[in-house]
Chains A and B, each alone.
Chain A
Amino acid sequence: MGFTEIEHTADCGVRVWGEDLTSLFVEAARGMNHCAGAQVGHGPRVVRSLQIEASDTEGLLVSFLGELIFAQESDNVGFDTFDIRVSDRRAAGRLAGALLENLGRPIKAVTYHNLRVSRSARGYETQIIFDV
């Protein structure tokens, strides 16, 4: 599992892969943190429960990453630990993190542009473009 940054003219993107949907989502979160230059601090840990549903896996991924963006922007909290279970249309579990030490490049939104979660030799793969 892993991610790699992809070039985009004005925004930021990642190609992500994981052996199953859960690891794909976790790597997507790590990839987004990388794009955002999010440095989670070493202060008291913040734990939030997660329970989301969507009409398809792509929508679920957008919704999941949207939770992270909301926490970054409204509470200055970054999540770096993901104890979650993801199925096609549902994700649940716990997110853990802390107050951000730094956020180099805030992400405005996760786009649906060319977003398609597909099966591959590495399990599941997708490409995500973020508006920065």
Chain B
Amino acid sequence: MRAAAMKLSDLRKISEYEWEIPRDHRRDMRGAVRVFATADLLSQVMDDKSLEQAVNATTLPGLVGPVIVMPDLHQGYGFPIGGVAATEFPHGAISPGAIGYDINCGVRLLASRLDIASARPDMEALANRLNAYCPSGVGRAGAVSLNTRELDRLLRDGSEWALQHGFATKLDAIHTEEGGRIEGARPEQVSERAKARGRNQIGSLGGGNHFVEVDVIDEIFDEATAAAFGLHAGCLALQIHCGSRGLGHQVCTDYVEQFQSCISKYGIVLPDRELVCAPMDTPEGHAYLGAMRAAANFAFVNRQILAHAARRAFEDTFKSKTGDWELTQVYDIAHNMGKIEVHEIAGRETKVCVHRKGATRAFGPHAPDLPPQYAAHGQPVLVPGSMGTASWVLAGTKDSMLRSLGSSCHGAGRVWSRTKAKREVQGEQLRDELEARGIAIRAGSLRGLAEEAPAAYKDVDSVVDTVVAAGIARKVARLRPVAVIKG
């Protein structure tokens, strides 16, 4: 069912930062759509299909509550990027397309006590080492290559595997969503093709919008929470943005294909084949859950090994010159994931599968799964900006649990197509501009650099201001980039 193009008048304004597409907008909707955005941010997406895709997402069987969309929304393929949807466990549907091909694409943040003034003279050397030690882009293998048995252990154990093999500290795992190990991972449900794609990519960034970035903690908004998170003003931090590489991409591909037959088998009607799904309590649903969790564990290990390499780069660059160069993990979060959680929805505690695609978990104070040190403050929410712009550390709030399924935004959100970005921006010129601003750039491809130009994205400050004004996150610190490594 194709809808006419959405207009702003199709949305009911709840506040300056919250809008609704009511359930009666289209006959096949099982719930409403709630959009956290300003009118200005919404106007940037009225010409793409993100709102139509949000409406389509409401047709998922077993949907509980509204589909929620974050202010960094843009069109995806089936499910909007920035979208969150909960389906009732166990009979509701799970949809691989509503989680994404890059299962557990996410962000890891580490922080140091090394001040920028001390580090600046060696920033180019650090960038060179990060570029060398963290494989990125295309055609470069990862740091680790495993046989099938060992790969299966990694898929099952996630960060525990990394800890056992010397790539992680105990604190790294504690400061990772779900401890870096999603229970219920079933490596046997991951195809041999997926394993073949991912086997040699462990500890690699990949290309596209994935990156390693060195930042300065530029401004602190909540001293107590920043201290708890280990953030020190004027000191270096490091972000890693990547996911489950070819293994995750193939897992999603396999199950999107397999679930095509579930439509007729389970009597499901959907407006877009990319939303295919199966009830969670079916063999197909069980299989995908197990495979998805395995791929998620792969991504946690991927970011862990890259963090290990980044620590080596910091050590090799700074150890002989200054103290306090060590990187301590702040947090690691996923922004493409399906999680079984309990939320209060329409006044009832309900166990659901929360699909987040381009959206992060943002649990409030004293919510489950928070590290003890963070419990009083809420979960760190990591929001990387576009290349060369600010990034943010937020904290989840009590309101996010009630109003956004414990979720928040994940980044700036694209506004330009890649084609337009390449037309409008010269990669070499962009690199020179960023370097003139004191940002060391290491990019595998100038074309790829142009596609990731800041102008291709929304203003991350506006996105963050929106979630903060809406009450679903609060500001902790703002980061400023000093080195970017991308494929």
A residues near B, CB below 8 A?
Answer: 5, 7-12, 37, 55, 58-59, 62-63, 66, 70, 73-74, 76, 100, 102-106, 108-115, 129, 131-132
Contacts and interface: CB of A to CB of B under 8 A. Distances in A.
A73 B198 CA distance: 9
B101 A9 contact: no
Among A7, A9, A111, residue most surrounded by chain B Cβ atoms (within 10 Å): A9
B78 A113 contact: yes
B196 interface: yes
Given A9-B414, A10-B414, A104-B445, A74 B272 contact: no
B418 interface: yes
A111 B448 contact: no
Contact of B260 (A7, A10, A59): A59
A70 B74 contact: no
A129 B266 CA distance: 27
B260 A8 contact: no
B193 A70 contact: yes
A9 B272 CA distance: 18
Interface in B66-104: 74-78, 81, 97, 100-102
A112 B274 CA distance: 5
Interface stretch (B245-253, B327-335, B370-378): B245-253
B419 A5 contact: yes
Given A74-B246, A105-B207, A106-B207, A10 B81 contact: yes
B252 A105 contact: no
B119 to A, nearest CB: 33
Contact of B78 (A10, A62, A105, A111): A111
A105 B422 CA distance: 13
A115 to B, nearest CB: 7
Nearest to B244: A108
Contacts of B81: 9-10
A58 B274 CA distance: 12
Interface residues of B, number: 44
A113 B272 CA distance: 6
Interface string B419-430: 110000000000
B208 A132 contact: yes
A9 B420 CA distance: 9
B416 to A, nearest CB: 7
A61 B389 CA distance: 40
Contacts of A5: 419
Contacts of B252: 109
5 contacts: A10-B76, A10-B418, A111-B274, A112-B274, A132-B418
Interface in B186-206: 193, 196-197, 200, 206
Interface of B: 48, 74-78, 81, 97, 100-102, 138-139, 193, 196-197, 200, 206-208, 246, 249-250, 252-253, 256-257, 260-261, 272-274, 276, 414-420, 445, 447-448, 451
A9 B196 contact: no
Nearest to B264: A55
Residue among A10, A37, A111 with most chain B CB within 10 A? A10
B105 to A, nearest CB: 10
A55 B138 contact: no
A70 B250 CA distance: 9
B163 to A, nearest CB: 28
B102 A11 contact: no
Closest 7 pairs (CB-CB, A-B)? A113-B77, A112-B273, A108-B249, A7-B417, A111-B77, A113-B274, A109-B101
B418 A12 contact: yes
A71 to B, nearest CB: 11
Nearest to A58: B273
Given A7-B420, A9-B414, A70-B196, 5 more contacts: A70-B193, A74-B200, A108-B101, A110-B253, A113-B273
Given A59-B257, A112-B274, A74 B445 contact: no
A62 B259 CA distance: 14
A58 to B, nearest CB: 8
Nearest to B415: A9
Contacts of A114: 77, 272
Given A37-B447, A74-B196, A111-B77, A105 B208 contact: yes
A66 B447 contact: no
A81 to B, nearest CB: 21
A36 to B, nearest CB: 9
Contact of A7 (B76, B246, B273, B419): B419
B253 A109 contact: yes
A10 B101 CA distance: 13
A103 B257 contact: no
A104 B260 contact: no
A73 B77 contact: no
A42 to B, nearest CB: 17
B48 A9 contact: yes
A115 B256 CA distance: 13
Contacts of B253: 62, 66, 109-110
A50 B139 CA distance: 24
